[in-house]
Structure 1
Amino acid sequence: MSSPYCGHLRGLDVRQRGRPSIALAKPTPSPAAVSFPNIHITGRFTMKLLSRAIAAIALVLAAASASAQGVPTIEDLKKATDAAMETVGRGDLAGGLKSIQPLFVVSNAEFESTAGQANLAFSVWSTRFGASRGHEFIEEKRLGSSLVRLTYIHKFDLHATRWQFYSYRGKSGWTISTLNFDDKLQDLF
């Protein structure tokens, strides 16, 4: 029998001479949360194997370099994320993520590893929440002229998951610096 307690991987701190460090919290009964530099997966997972696999991927992600191709406008960014969420809403998580891969600030190897682990999380959600039933755009929030957060929900039969794309406008245009997806709908209010 698996325990309802899962460790939390809080994220990566790269302030110490470029070397990542990982802080593990004490086990708690709250939802397991796995944070990657660019993709965050949260849910009530009780599967030890899934938690360990995702933690291993976090270590791989911390070590690789990043590059991304940007798009010139927020409207272009939104078109790309809308198309990705349309694909995810049809039940094709890997295809949705792959469609926006060039916008992410991670290497191809990092992205592929993380997408594989995200597929595991998606299968757990599908088992728990039912079949995919589409998506809905919720909000665009801009901070200054260089930051934007696009928020969506991915609908299932019994529940929905929240998706947040955090983007930055740098010298190559708008790129996706972080993607969070979780089942914490209450945080939308």
Structure 2
Amino acid sequence: MNRFALAVAIFFAATGLARADGFLSDADARDALQRAMNVIASGKVERGMESLRPHTTFNSDQFASLTDQFLIIQKSASRELGKSLEAEFMCLERTGASVMRLHYLQKFEEAGIPWTFTLYRVSRDWMIIGMQQHGTLDGFYCFDESEPEGRGTGMQPIQDL
């Protein structure tokens, strides 16, 4: 690699403009997100978030801001809901061939906090374009996968909280 190409590669990596690594399949995304959620549920929010960083489209400032927000929410949740126990995969929703959402529930002693990850298919890879923690379980539903395309009249509420 010549010096110019090396300098350009270092510039893009340093500024956060280099292309991130996507997931090749739904299963790859689900496995990586479950691992990250397990780390987050164990109390290591920054470490869990950092494991997702290569798979997002966020620049460094956006990612740091999201991580800081999630740290504040986790500290508050621990005070109000007790100890974080585990993370549970709830469902995958798909809209067309290019957008999907994966829903997880971070369980605490007193209640749970829903997490939603929105992914967009870039070329053949899935990239995380959105991360969200919901403040309440109210309205947190997954579509019934037995219906055509996962859509229709039957939305199934999350059971056994």
TM-score by length of 2: 0.72
Deviation at 1:116, TM superposition (A): 2.1
Q: Counterparts in 2 of 1:4-83, with a 5 A limit?
A: 68-83=20-35
Show the counterpart of 2:42: 90
Q: CA deviation at 1:163?
A: 0.4
Q: Retained in 2: the 8 A contact 1:168–1:176?
A: yes
The equivalent of 1:30 in structure 2 is none
List per-residue Cα deviations over 1:36-63 (Å, max 9, x = no partner). Answer: xxxxxxxxxxxxxxxxxxxxxxxxxxxx
Unaligned runs of 5+ in 2: 1-15, 141-156
Q: Deviations over 1:126-166 (max 9, x none)?
A: 11111110011111111111111100100111110000111
After superposition, the C-alpha distances for 1:6-49 in whole angstroms (9 at most, x for unaligned) are: xxxxxxxxxxxxxxxxxxxxxxxxxxxxxxxxxxxxxxxxxxxx
1:168 aligns with 2:120: yes
Greater gyration radius: 2
Letter in 1 for 2:134: D
1:123 maps to amino acid = K
Give the corresponding residue for 1:181.
Answer: 133
Larger helix fraction of residues: 2
Aligned residue for 1:38?
A: none
Question: What is the CA–CA distance in structure 1 between the aligned matches of 2:49 and 2:122, rounded to whole Å?
Answer: 21
What residue identity is the alignment partner of 2:137?
L
Structure 1 residues 147 and 70, CA, compared in 2 at 3 Å: closer, same or farther?
A: same
2:64 to 105, 108, 112: 112
Partner Cα separation in structure 2 for residue 178 and residue 98 of structure 1? 15
Cα pair 1:67 1:104 within 8 Å, conserved: no
Aligned residue pairs total 126
AA aligned to 2:39 is T
Identity of matched residues, %:
27
- Rounded to whole Å, the distance in 2 between the matches of 1:68 and 1:107 is 10
- For residue 159 of structure 1, what is the amino acid of its counterpart? A
Match among 153, 160, 169 for residue 105 of structure 2: 153
Of 58, 76, 79, which residue of structure 2 is paired with 1:127? 79
Distance 1:66 1:138 in 2: 32
Q: What is the rounded CA distance, in whole Å, between the counterparts of 1:135 and 1:156 in structure 2? A: 9
**Are 1:101 and 2:53 counterparts?**
yes
State how far apart, in whole Å, the 2-side matches of 1:89 and 1:113 are.
19
Q: Please tell me the residue identity of whatever aligns with 1:84.
A: A
Normalising to structure 1: TM-score of the pair? 0.62
- One-letter amino acid matched to 2:122: G
Report the AA paired with residue 104 of structure 1: T
